[in-house]
Amino acid sequence: MKVHRAKMKALESIRGDLAAQYSCLRDYLQEVQSRNPNTTIKLQVQSEPCYASKTRVFERVYICLGPLKSGFAAGKRDLLGLDGAFMKGPYHGMILTAMGLDGNNCSYPLAYAVVEAENFNSWTWFLTNLGDDLGRAHCDALLNNMCESLNSKIVKGHDKPIISCLDFIREYIMRKIVMVQKEIDKANGPLTPTATKTHQKIKERTIQCKAMFCGNGKYQVTSEGTNQCVVNMDQQTCSCNRWELTDIPCKHSIVAIWDMRLNNENVGIHET
């Protein structure tokens, strides 16, 4: 999420010049990509050339910074929030954003784009690029409330020229990731502070649960007397679906884990 200082000093001279920033956009994007390995940047210009100009007319740009991409994959929180916000400068457009959740249940900026308008074509283009970057998501929920927090923080960048706008977003994301990392560093044990509290509450709800081994890594877990769920320890899934959606063992799977440990079996996941 870095940009070379010398390059940024050169951009300072054109920071207030809207047209000049568009003419230097390709150089700026190349600098961002070179300084952040594994970054995806897609710049799209109008298909019809303007013969009166030596440059092509800007249409869209998509950015998914490499460190954010790697962090999302490592966090394994396959939940996305999508939103769009209007740019407020003389050149109209939309800022599209994709947000996830980190291991501490805080919002996690993932990708952003500036497009000509919010429509089916621009969203399809944004989501196609995002899908190429992320592969598999297990969750089919699309939310926008996670993105509203991001839009509220970058609203001051909506009226800036294109490079200033993109750099405003990049710098905010960089500061946020640093702040989140400081909170994570305070955690005791292998889990984040929020995950630790959540995990403890789940364990407190296992009092009425009983596990019965069914063979082939599967357990029948009965709770509240009659409710039954099937836990598959080989696949790390439960028929209540909570384990798959949150990546935190549900109360049924915790009881199954405890049964395995009582029988000296290797669980292969976090001690509960």
- CA 89 and chain centroid, separation: 27
CA distance 5 to 11: 10
Type of residue numbered 143: L
The pairing of beta strand 80-86 with beta strand 210-215? unpaired
C-alpha torsion 254→255→260→263, nearest 10? 140
How confident is the prediction for the chain on average, in pLDDT? 82
What digits encode the pLDDT tens for the residues 219-263? Answer: 999 987 778 999 999 898 999 988 887 778 899 999 999 998 888
pTM across the whole model:
0.67
Q: Are 28 and 11 in contact (CB under 8 A)?
A: yes
CA-based end-to-end distance of the chain: 36
Looking at residue 238, what is its pLDDT? 93
DSSP tag of 16: T
Q: Say whether pLDDT at 170 is over 90.
A: yes
Type of residue numbered 58: F
Q: What is the DSSP string of 70-98?
A: HHHHHHT---EEEEEEE--SSS--EEEEE
